Amino acid sequence: MRSRWSYVYFLFYLLLGIVLLFLNNDLSKAVITLMNVIIILVPLIGTVFGVMYYYNSREFTELLLAQPLKRSSIFLGQYFGVAVSLSMSLVIGLGLPFIFYGIFNSSAIWDFSLLLISGAFLTFIFTALAFVIALANENKIKGFGYAILLWLFMAVIYDGLFLMSLIYFEDYPLDKFSLATTMLNPVDLSRVLILLKLDISALLGYTGAVFQKFFGTSLGLIISTSMLILWVVIPTGIIYRMAKRKDF
Amino acid sequence: MIKIECLHKKFGANQVLKGIDLEIKKGGIFAVLGPNGSGKTTLIKSILGMVIPNSGSIKIDESVVRNNWKYRSDINYLPQIANFPGNLKVKELINMIKDLRTRKKADDQYLIELFRLESYMDKKLSSLSGGTKQKVNLVLTFMFDSPLIILDEPTTGLDPISHIRLKELIKTEKTKGKTILITSHIMSFVEEIADEIVFLLEGEIYFKGSISQLKSKTEQPDFEHAIASILTTSDA
């Protein structure tokens, strides 16, 4: 089940990469289009696959639990299995067409690798969150519902709320507030990171405009990368703790 | 062998185990009996560490079960419902479990022949019937040589001939000095093989002892009626 779908996912990215390159004929433009796809699609696929995999392999998990294996290694193994295979599909699927197109000789190489790295981060983050949701909910339908809601919230609603709050509190200094809010959402954070790297302020929404100063510096880059790492580590820690306590 | 002290387990508001104290000595066949929902499977899963008790302790050969996993290499467990990943072949599943327990010598070929599973080895698990799945389950359970064997409803779905073979298999394991823990609702099966029974009622141990002790306690001539009398008197 898992392997078949990760091939489909891989082929999808391969195709997407090829089509974009042929239509655009320009590497950095292709990277921008890709970014818009990745920012929305990667979290969605990560959540859906994570939840689906957990529920599908439940029986198998029960079989493994009766074997002399450590609980945490069963669950973390499953999580990393899903997350790594999804990120591999993303990185290889997109990487191949770009390599053939000659990304190595282009100035867009750094933008492109940043795109792939944040894509991989998003995969890990959302797969971990999906596992947390699935572990917390015995009921498949509920689990799926919460997972989709989480995605919708992070990818769409969060931005809307953010903008509304900016408009509402117009009269106050908002730099720090908006910085913090962006940091708290991995989707926004990766979007801002990539956009700033691409140096196309025209495309920046209000979300991004505030931070050009902050993220342009190496300190900003370090802080935002560590935020992304935190976003991976914390849910993974929660998986670890939940797996230790859960009854089967 | 197994020492359980003051074991409590709640699922939400449902108190399943209410202070179980149980000691099971090495060697022999122990049957855990009780009506549906009396906590048999929960007790077994607690021993395996699949269910984490609210309080109380379980020790197996002096090692504490909680947060430990190494002890499970000395346990063979047959789950109540044989749920296997459907996309695997029987052969692949058996090999995979063997890989997980590399330290043990696996005697799967003998069991596959015993339960006539040769022709199913290349079939997917999702295409097997309930009884055949149970046979695969039995092969997985009995193929390792462990001192403790736990069987949760081993007879489910088996045809009469496999039933007889299973009984023989359990008896030979017993002669090797192993401890075998069984739950079952088939009283004739329990009566035939069990040395000692533990009767659970609403999360507590109602009776522990041999079948003849149970008969004299309830003043019933046969085992099935003895069990039935416990159930009717407890309801009243």
SS (H, E, C) A176-205: HHHHHHHHCCHHHHHHHHHHHHHCCHHHCC
Q: How many Å apart are CA A99 and CA A96, to the nearest integer?
A: 5
Q: Label residue A51 by pLDDT band (50, 70, 90).
A: very high
Q: A59-94 b/e with 16+ CB inside 10 Å = b?
A: bbbbbbbbbbbbbeebbbebbeebbebbbbbbbebb
**Mean pLDDT throughout A48-69?**
85
Sorted by where each begins, the domain ranges of chain A are: 2-245
Is 50 exceeded by the pLDDT of residue A82? yes
Cα within 13 Å of Cα(A4), Cβ side: 2
Say which residue the tokens 């495309």 belong to: A203
**More confident of the two residues A215 and A116:** A116
**Which residues in chain B touch residue A65, judged by CB atoms under 8 angstroms apart?**
48-50
Predicted confidence (pLDDT) per residue in B166-203, tens digit: 888 888 888 888 888 898 888 888 888 888 888 888 88
What angle, 0 to 180 degrees and rounded to 10, lies between the N-to-C axes of helices A27-56 and A186-198? 160
pLDDT of residue A212: 65
With bands split at pLDDT 50, 70 and 90, how would you rate the model's confidence at B213?
A: confident
What is the average per-residue pLDDT within B5-27? 84
Q: What is the pLDDT of residue B48?
A: 85
**What one-letter code names the amino acid at A90?**
L
Q: Tell me which residue has tokens 């790594």.
A: A84
pLDDT for A36 equals 82
The mean-pLDDT minimum among A48-57, B40-49, B82-91 falls in B82-91
3-state secondary structure of B1: coil
Instruction: Tell me the C-alpha distance between A161 and A143, whole Å.
Output: 24
Per CB-CB distance under 8 Å, the chain B contacts of A62 are 50, 79, 83
Q: Is the pLDDT of residue A128 over 90?
A: yes
ipTM over 0.85: no
Q: Which residue of A has its CA nearest to B48?
A: A66
- Provide the pLDDT confidence category of residue A66 given band limits of 50, 70 and 90: confident
In this prediction, residue A1 carries a pLDDT of 43
Whether B69 contacts chain A with CB within 8 A? yes
- Supply the pLDDT for residue A187: 86
- Mean predicted confidence (pLDDT) in A167-190: 78
CB-neighbour burial class of residue B126 (10 A; exposed 0-12, middle 13-18, buried 19+): exposed
Q: How confident is the model at residue A233 (pLDDT cuts 50, 70, 90)?
A: very high
The residue extents of the domains of chain B are 2-235
Residue of A124, A125, A142 lying closest to A133 (CA atoms) = A142
Q: Sort out which chain A residues have CB atoms less than 8 A from B48's CB and list them.
A: 65-66
Identify which of A97, A83, A80, A84 has the alpha carbon closest to the alpha carbon of residue A34: A97
The helix (run of H) or strand (run of E) holding residue B14 is strand B14-24
Mean pLDDT (whole number) for A103-124? 81
Residue B22 scores a pLDDT above 60: yes
pLDDT on residue A217: 67
Of A59, A64, A247, which is closest to B52 when you measure between CB atoms? Answer: A247
Nearest-angstrom CA–CA distance, B25 and B60: 10
CA distance B55 to B9: 7
CA distance B182 to chain A (A): 16
Interface check for B102 against chain A (CB to CB < 8 A): the answer is: no
pLDDT at B236: 47
User: Residue A203: pLDDT above 60?
Assistant: no
The partner residue sitting opposite A67, judged by closest CB among B11, B83, B100, is: B100
Separation in Å, CA of B139 to nearest CA in chain A: 14
pLDDT above 70 as % of chain B: 97
Unique residue bearing structure tokens 């407890």: B234
pLDDT bucket at B96, cuts 50 / 70 / 90 = confident
Two tokens at B146? 């462990």
**Between residues A182 and A83, the one the model is more confident about:** A83
Distance of alpha carbon A62 from alpha carbon B52, whole angstroms: 14
**Could you name the CATH architecture of B2-235?**
3-Layer(aba) Sandwich (3.40)
Q: What is the mean pLDDT of chain A?
A: 81
Q: Which of A3-12, A111-120, A210-219 has the highest mean pLDDT?
A: A111-120
Separation between Cα atoms, residue B65 and residue B111, nearest integer Å: 30
Residue B152 φ then ψ, to 5°: -100, 110
Give pLDDT, residue A125: 92
CA dist A160 and B23 (Å) reads 62
